[in-house]
Amino acid sequence: MDGLHPGLEDISVAETRLSSIDGEAGELLIGGVPVEELAANATYEETVFLLLNDRLPTVEELKAFRSALASHRAIGEETRAVLRRAANEEKPPMDALRMGLSTASLGVEDETTQTAVRRVIAVVPTIVSTYWRYREDNDPIAPRSDLRHAENYLYMMTGDEPTQAAVRGLETYLNTVVDHGLNASTFTARVVVSAESDVVSAATAAVGTLKGPLHGGAPGPVLEMLEEVFETGGPEAYVRAKLDAGERLMGFGHRVYRVRDPRAEVLSTAAEQFYDAGGDAEFFAATKTFEDVATDLLAEHKPQRRLETNVEFYTAVLLAGVGVPKELFTTTFAVARVGGWMAHALEQLDDNKLVRPRSRYTGRSDRRWKPIDDR
């Protein structure tokens, strides 16, 4: 066997038209469009249509696609019962999403793959918001078909129609993180459908992967860090203490990017626009100061590495601003990324080959069977 590549690092296993990452230059294309252009201008439905169809929709196509997604938002009583129990037992939100999503095909017969894809994308926000309403001892709020995808998600959390500034902020976030190469959860989705399994199973497995703290769990701790420093002051003392203790500074550094994460740039701009429109301007100014201090000290402390701001830093700032509870940051990541998972699943099926890598055996080869009485 030639070579060993733990974690499949730097191994290309698929061709894709969905996103392109240049880690050295700090550039990201989604469906061929620079992320900074797409995220700031498109609705989430336009972005998902682009990924699924390899082009932006016309006015009529967007209207039809938005209607098709909205028609699949509702969840059944069986799913609500699972989410109610998960909330009563205080299961983590990602566990609740995994359990709820696995029930998404109940009551559905003879559904095409394309319809199942739309259903999966549509129900994730409903599952997350329903769980959260139960967790907060409130009745769930039914989805509304007249609201856009991002708008409806915020509405189902609170029962109040969100401001357009909040909708634009959330929509920018969803577009920014909808797809990002062959990350762990996306690869999982492709592996599942490569066995010609169904897309609900693929999405559920992807959620299980995203649940791991090495993949999608950092924005919550970033917000806690920023809130602590905002309350106590002294970002320099905080950062120096972390670095001197050998601890990781959340929100900085990325496995792929060697410069500032382009998604951080997009979300920084979106957060600034949101906070300028009526958010906590003092808190946002403090986060900008923290970023400047942290990047300077990281460069001083680890001059051999470039540890720049990553997507998680401004994810925390923006999502907190638009009203998403920090407990739902990772599930909101799933609300966005499920569009990418489903596009990758369909791309895999277009020219499918079962994903079947090999492993290198390192165990013993000199054992022989012994009857149990001789052991």
Hey, where are the domains in the chain?
A: 19-213+327-350, 219-322
CB 284 within 8 A of CB 271: yes
**Which DSSP symbol is given to 19?**
E
Rounded Cα distance, 31 and 54, in Å: 7
Q: Which of 254, 265, 308, 344 is catalytic?
A: 254
User: What are the b/e assignments for 261-295, b being 16+ CB within 10 Å?
Assistant: bbbbbbbbbbbbbbbeeebeeeebebbeebbebbb
Give the span between the Cα atoms of 169 and 319, in whole angstroms. 8
Indicate if 5 belongs to the active site.
no
Which of 45, 46, 308, 312 is labelled catalytic?
312
Max CA separation in the chain (angstroms): 78
**CATH for the 19-213+327-350 domain, from 1.10.8.60, 3.50.50.60, 1.10.580.10, 1.10.357.10:** 1.10.580.10
HSE toward the beta carbon, residue 115, CA cutoff 13 A: 8
Closest to 181 measured CA to CA, from 55, 14, 363: 14
Cα gap 180→196, rounded to integer Å:
23
**pLDDT of res. 1:** 46
Q: Is residue 254 among the annotated active site residues? A: yes
Residues 86, 131 contacting (CB under 8 angstroms): yes
Q: Which of 176, 183, 99 is nearest to 134 (CA)?
A: 99
Q: Profile the chain (375 residues) by mean pLDDT over runs of 10 residues.
A: 70 90 93 97 98 98 98 96 97 97 89 96 98 97 97 97 96 98 95 96 97 82 92 91 90 83 95 89 93 92 83 94 96 98 97 90 93 94
Per-residue pLDDT, 351: 92
CA–CA dist 253, 312 (Å, integer): 10
CATH superfamily of the 219-322 domain:
Cytochrome P450-Terp, domain 2 (1.10.230.10)
Closest alpha carbon to 286 in 227, 224, 355, 350 = 227
Q: What angle do CA 322, 168, 174 make, to 5 degrees?
A: 80
Please report the DSSP string for 308-332 in residue order. Answer: -B-HHHHHHHHHHHHT--GGGHHHH
